Amino acid sequence: MSPSPGKPVLQKARPATPEPPAASTPAARPRRARGGRADSVAWMYVATFVLGIALWWIVAEVTDNALAPKPPDVVIALGDGLREGWLIDHTIASLGRVAAGFVLGVLLAIPAGFLMGWYRVARGMLEPWVQFFRTVPPLALIPLVIVFLGIGESAKVFVIFLAAFLSCVIATFQGVRNVDLTYINAARVLGAKDGTIFARVVIPASTPYIFVGMRVALGSSWATLVAAELLAAPTGLGRMMQSAQQFLQTDRIVVGVVMIGTLGFAMDRLLLIVERRLTSWQEVR
């Protein structure tokens, strides 16, 4: 017998689907996946490091040049530098210069980038100068730096500061420019003023770009270190490498390269840790 058109059709209730156990929920699976990816990346770091050392050793052996340093020679020079203390002195001097130039550059680049991205007048006044000096290598500015600042510590820090500032200000400016207008318009519809929009929308949305700029600025700071220490530096890794070049001490040159690369890598990892904590809301692959 067919049901009446005016009455709803009653259906037998289906049994409820049991909830999956907590260990297999989607929230738990990504954590295990992230942990597995981190472990695999760590193993890849170790593997590529060992492979690089092996290739270096093979090339040094095949070259058959007495000046080509081999890994054992560099390890011996590194041990001598740590035991005698000269490597520690050079490292501390260079680390202080890089840290001072990098911090000053970032502290000035972030507000300058915000101004360029938020105000058209500031963009018109600052962007031409930023783009102009970005194309000039810091090494070319050393004679002018000597004329205006002399050969003291301020001149060395300024060269590093300039490299860090020019790298970070562009990333900050681009971060402000790339903020989705939908967020800004939605905040205005809800009654937010410009100050609130800037603090609650623009700054959080620009934070990932700022950290990218900071990482690039850190690399530029270390890359400019050797050029900065051309300014009659008494100590520093760049100065050590220049002196070693004059006396054909190639093992010490490699020690300087290893120290710069290691310190730069460690500082970059610290920036990544801070970035992950401050941008935990961001979805990443």
Q: What is the C-alpha separation between 9 and 5, in angstroms, rounded? A: 9
Nearest to 164 by CA among 175, 174, 172, 176: 172
Using pLDDT thresholds of 50, 70 and 90, give the confidence band for residue 284.
low
Spatial contact of 256 and 247, defined as CB atoms under 8 Å apart: no
* Domain extents in the chain: 26-64, 68-278
What secondary structure does DSSP assign to 82-150, as a single string? HHHSHHHHHHHHHHHHHHHHHHHHHHHHHHHHHHHHH-HHHHHHHHHHHHHHHTS-HHHHHHHHHHHHT
CA distance 245 to 13: 85
Q: What is the pLDDT of residue 285?
A: 61
pLDDT reading at 52 higher than 80:
yes
pLDDT at 139: 78
pLDDT band at residue 103 under the 50/70/90 scheme = very high
Predicted pLDDT at 203: 87
Angle between helices 250-278 and 86-118 (to 10 degrees): 40
Q: Give me the mean pLDDT over the 142-166 stretch.
A: 89
Q: Which CATH class is domain 68-278?
A: mainly alpha
Confidence grade of residue 18 (pLDDT, cut at 50, 70, 90): very low
| pLDDT score, position 165 | 94
Q: What is the mean pLDDT of residues 26-52?
A: 65
Output the average pLDDT for the chain: 82
**Structure tokens given for 128:** 């031409």
Of the listed ranges 159-173, 199-213, 227-241, 256-270, the least confidently predicted one is 227-241
User: pLDDT exceeding 70 applies to what percent of the chain?
Assistant: 85
Mean pLDDT over residues 122-145, rounded? 87
